[in-house]
Amino acid sequence: MSVAEPLTKPVLAVGGRFLLSEIGMQLRRRRNQLILAVLAAVPVIIGIAVKLTTHDGAGATGGLIGNITNNGIFVAFTALIVVIPIFLPMAVAVVAGETVAGEASLGTLRYLLAVPVGRTRLLLTKFAAMGFWCLLITSVVALAGVIIGVILFPSAHVTLLSGTQATLLGGVGRLVGMVLYAALMMLAVAAIGLFISTLTEVPIAAMAATLTVAIVMQVLVAVPQLHAIHPWLISDHLLNLADLLRDPLRVSGLRDGALLAVGYVVVFGSLAWARFTTKDVTS
């Protein structure tokens, strides 16, 4: 380290380095690598299964899956829709539950707090790393889907749900939209996980609790009598993902979902902040 390094630099540099080290830790964990591998396997399995069961367009079934034989990019669309209700929340819960509770259980939290970094910034960095993780898991599914799709199937124009066609570029644009939307919805789950993680020193408990919240939401959405509260549940908005495959694009559902996700992030983010900044760190 050079002696002439300006004193104002560390504030940002420490933050950036801290974030990078968080992300690095995420990526080095064997468990997280396994999650990524499992998620990447989903589109591969879908692609191979469709390839094996259809012969040159014959026997193609309807719906999203049937579209795969026409355009490989649909492997990515289908895979995202398959993983978003349970698999993705699970992948988020495992990592989000770990954030604070994991450090506490290892006894590293107090060392972390000994670094001249405020607790607020520590929490923000942890959350930023979660944002990266959400984007990473959705991108992995989409990317694996596109790769297997291009290998196994033709890729020309993309037939949308409305029966009209988009160019390949338009299709890729819609896929990017789906990835971003899915990542934002998962960030809402991550915020819940972050808050729960500040409540306990047992990371497994935080993971299980976060996953339970996500599953309970799924169950509530399946009960029509609870219609009144459905708009307030994350799970009710997950499949709005398909609105990106309509022509013209249907914005209202995506907007509602995005607003709800931001609401969850703000509420649970502030809850986590209130808890973490007032908490006695004893381990």
- Residues at the interface with other proteins (CB under 8 A): 57, 60, 62-64, 66-67, 69-70, 81, 156-157, 159, 161-165, 224-225, 227, 239, 242, 246, 248, 250, 252, 263, 266-267, 270-271, 273-274, 277-278
20/222 with CB nearer other proteins = 222
247-256: long-range contacts (C-beta < 8 A, 24 or more apart)? Answer: 247/160, 247/161, 247/162, 247/164, 247/166, 249/174, 254/177, 254/181, 256/231
Sole residue written with tokens 């964990």? 29
74/133 with CB nearer other proteins = 74
Q: Are 96 and 187 in contact (CB under 8 A)?
A: no
21/270 with CB nearer other proteins = 270
Sole residue written with tokens 């069961």? 53
CA distances from 133 to 94, 129, 157 (A): 11, 6, 31
Nearest Cα to 213, choosing from 264, 141, 140? 264
Q: How many residues are there in the chain?
A: 283
CB of 32 to other proteins, least distance (A): 29
Nearest Cα to 269, choosing from 213, 183, 208, 188? 188
Roughly what angle, to the nearest 10 degrees, separates helices 30-53 and 9-28? Answer: 60
41/239 with CB nearer other proteins = 239
164/212 with CB nearer other proteins = 164
CB of 252 to other proteins, least distance (A): 7
CA distances from 26 to 129, 171, 247 (A): 8, 31, 38
18/273 with CB nearer other proteins = 273
Q: Is 116 helix (H, G, I), strand (E, B) or coil?
A: coil
Q: Are 39 and 87 in contact (CB under 8 A)?
A: yes
CB of 35 to other proteins, least distance (A): 25
User: Six-digit token pair at 65?
Assistant: 């899956």
60/150 with CB nearer other proteins = 60
